[in-house]
Amino acid sequence: MDKSEFGVIGLGVMGKSLSLNMAEKGVNLSVYNRSEGDEARVVSEFLDKNHALKNIAGFTDLKDFVSSLELPRKMLLMVKAGPVVDDIIAQLLPHLTPDDVIIDGGNSYFKDTQRRYRNLQQKGIHFIGCGISGGEEGARKGPSLMPGGDIEGYTVVAPTLEAIAAEDAKKQPCCTFIGNDGAGHFVKMIHNGVEYAEMQLLAELYAILSPSMDNEAIADMFSKWNNSDLSSYLLEITVDILTKKEGGAYLLDKVLDKAENKGTGNWSSKTALDLGVPATMMTSAVFARYLSSFKATREQLSDGLQPLNSSNRTLDLTILEKAYRFARIINHHQGFEVLQQASQHYDWHLNLSEIACIWTNGCIIRSRFMEACSSYLKDASLLSQQDMFATLKSAESAIAEVLHTALSNRIQMDAFWSAYNYWINMTTKRLPANLIQAQRDYFGAHTYQRIDTPLSEFFHTNWSTS
């Protein structure tokens, strides 16, 4: 039999979908899955189910799988992020030859990818850390792909990756070489941070609307928004979720209110902190998920607590729309600021406009606004664009009013608050940080700068008056 052009390791949901996507694009494929325990029949069942596709060969022996691939070998790992990736690489290595390419398509932590990249580079193997977004459907029909590593390795796999990716409005693949070593996984991680905050904003809108509107009415309003500049994949799926019924009742009302996570929001937030970027919205979205997990405590403590002001005025929906637009701009701005800072720190030369472009389709945060971002980011940050700034400025009273309503009704709107506070901080000429500096100097002699002397000069004062 002819050698296969590409290999996929791991036939979980994403591995299967990507394999079918590739096979349908005419790529001759080898797939591998281990056959231990309850995975005994994964490969044979996959082949049986897709017997119409004649260009897929299945393997349960890693050595045979590797031998089935043409040189240089091109392999996509679709296994659980973490030590399993190292295990598989260690098992593959004795069978590989220089110039082979391994792509890790999982949500791996970018520092693991940097380490793996360096180790494999010493052995002459190209390692591509490739962020893949779009879930099962995206993987099957066209995901957004964020490959990072070295350009030589990418060039070898680019035709296949570009063939399976979603297409942007100009029919270009939503796949571009992101940058060196862990850049691809970094960008996917921040994609998820933005995703967390976008999801949280929708959840908060649902929270503030549901006391006065039923799911159907909220869905109608979201549908209308989805036909405007606010259109996004997450808004679209939220309409479906709100209206889904089971036995005549809304299914959403029966879903337990404890939000889980697999860690990428946590990594994004920690990384933003490390880089000194105030990505407050993704962080508040992570904390909101954590807070939701204290269900029993929440139930216990909520007893007898009432809204502060029950005579609540009705919320004007056009005001809510403005506040939502405001918060989304801040969220995207913060996400791209993390990328900008990381680009300098890691010397990745990230092209933010191109990243926004490959996020316009296929991925979870695809939206009409992302299309605007791809052109805005050609010049400068979102906040420094005149019309973005004007939109934020004109929506300040709207978000303030929404938060006022939320306060009166004891409704948590962590992400909206973060957006508002970020804006207030960023547009305040003099912050009380002078007092922080004085306190630091008082107890720790950490010194301070003055506004009436050159900034190159640092002062220490004995502040004690006693």
Active-site positions read 188, 195
By beta-carbon proximity to ligand 6PG, the closer residue of 4 and 108 is 108
The tokens for 199 are: 């999801």
Residue 264 contacts ligand 6PG per CB under 6 A: yes
Please identify, among the stretches 69-77, 170-178, 258-266, 390-398, the one whose residues bind ligand 6PG according to the rule CB under 6 A.
Answer: 258-266
| Per-residue contact flags (x/-) with ligand 6PG for residues 150 to 189, judged by CB under 6 A | ----------------------------------------
Query: Interface mask (CB under 6 A) for ligand 6PG, residues 332-371, using x and -?
Result: -------------------------------xx-------
Per CB under 6 A, the list member of 49, 63, 118, 262 interacting with ligand 6PG is 262
The amino acid at residue 390 is: A
d(CA 292, CA 263): 15
Residue 133 sits in the site that holds ligand 6PG (CB under 6 A)? yes
Closer residue to ligand 6PG in complex, CB, 168/195: 195
Q: Which of 5, 104, 181, 195 binds ligand 6PG (CB under 6 A)?
A: 195
Q: Which stretch binds ligand 6PG (CB under 6 A): 113-121, 133-141, 212-220, 412-420?
A: 133-141
Which positions from 97 through 116 interact with ligand 6PG, judged by CB under 6 A? 107
Q: Where are the alpha helices (DSSP H) in 347-411?
A: 352-358, 368-376, 386-408
- Of 269 and 374, CB closest to ligand 6PG: 269
- Determine the angle formed by the axes of helices 264-275 and 317-346, rounding to 10 degrees: 70
29, 144, 155 from 361: Cα distances, Å: 25, 7, 22
Please state, in angstroms and rounded to a whole number, the distance separating the CA atoms of residues 411 and 395.
Answer: 20
Coil/strand/helix, residue 435: helix
Residue 210 lies near ligand 6PG (rule: CB under 6 A): no
Strands (E) located in 25-121: 29-32, 56-59, 74-77, 101-104
Residue 418 binds ligand 6PG (CB under 6 A): no
135 binds ligand 6PG (CB under 6 A): yes
Residue 167 burial (CB < 10 Å; 0-12/13-18/19+)? middle
- How far CA 435 is from CA of 74, 385, 427, 442, 443, in Å, comes to 58, 32, 19, 10, 12
Q: Which residues bind ligand 6PG (CB under 6 A)?
A: 107, 133-135, 192, 195, 261-262, 264-265, 363-364
